[in-house]
Amino acid sequence: MTGWIRIAGLGPGHPDLVTPEVSAALAQATDVVGYIPYVARIPARDGLTLHASDNRVEIDRSRHALQMAAEGRRVVVVSSGDPGVFAMAAAVYEAVESGPPEWRDLDISVLPGITAMLAAAARAGAPLGHDFCAINLSDNLKPWPLIEKRLRLAAEADFAMAFYNPRSKSRPRGFGRALDILRDACGPQRPILFARAVSTPGETLTVTTLGAATSDMADMRTVVLVGSSATRVIDRAGAPIVYTPRSVSQ
């Protein structure tokens, strides 16, 4: 048997947002590796071994997956959303680069998925319809001053912005500081959206302004979107529509 690794994106949660490419890889796999809540989304079946591991062990998990593929197993490494956006693809390639040379010749590929910011944007309208950036607000793997610098430059560039991992129990204060910086740089009227657990039964979507936003509106299951200066809110009977026009006046 020739082993392989597919680093696959499961999308934001709903099975209808999993691509056929990812479903086919899962159907052929002998092993699925990933963070506990993502592996829990994979139905058990004969011939498939599920390897769930905790958060913050991404490199160990990657090495385990690579070792199994080197032994001839067909391994799917699962991420929620897209594996290339703040997820397992970079971790697996970090492990490849620092591992034995023969790992570079393994059959490895990345299967893209619907990333959280695009699922959230779809629910709200089209807030990322013009130039935008994506920033991971966790300072577990980078210094906080770099996050602040990027927030200020993103505001100066007038990007719409998507923020992943805004807040967790172990990082309760950073997101409030990020909101302060954004209020200072973008003003209190700028639209901000909190999209939690999009496409799952626990989905919530809150549209407000930077002036009214508070840090407890976000947790680790929330993706936060902030509009550019051109972003518009269309009020109507139901939830408002938030979109960023394609044009900037010449």
Task: List binders of its own copies among 87-116 (CB under 8 A).
Answer: 87, 89-94, 96-97, 104-105, 109-115
Stretch that binds its own copies, among 20-28, 45-53, 167-175, 187-195 (CB under 8 A): 20-28
Answer for the pair 135, 147: CB distance below 8 angstroms, yes or no: yes
Residues 79 and 90: their CA atoms lie apart, in Å, by 11
Which sign does the torsion angle of CA 58, 60, 65, 69 carry? positive
Residues 153-172 that bind its own copies (CB under 8 A): 153-154, 156-159
Nearest 5 degrees, angle CA 31-CA 69-CA 116? Answer: 60
Whose Cβ is closer to its own copies: residue 175's or residue 214's? 175
CB closer to its own copies out of 149 and 214: 149
> Of 37-45, 66-74, 174-182, 238-246, which part binds its own copies (CB under 8 A)?
238-246
Give the pair of three-digit tokens for residue 232: 């518009």
CA distance 189 to 171: 26
Q: How far apart are CA 33 and CA 36, in angstroms?
A: 9
Which listed residue (43, 47, 143, 202) binds its own copies by CB under 8 A?
Answer: 143
> To the nearest whole angstrom, how small is the minimum distance from the Cβ of residue 177 to its own copies?
17
Residue numbers 45-64 binding its own copies by CB under 8 A: 58
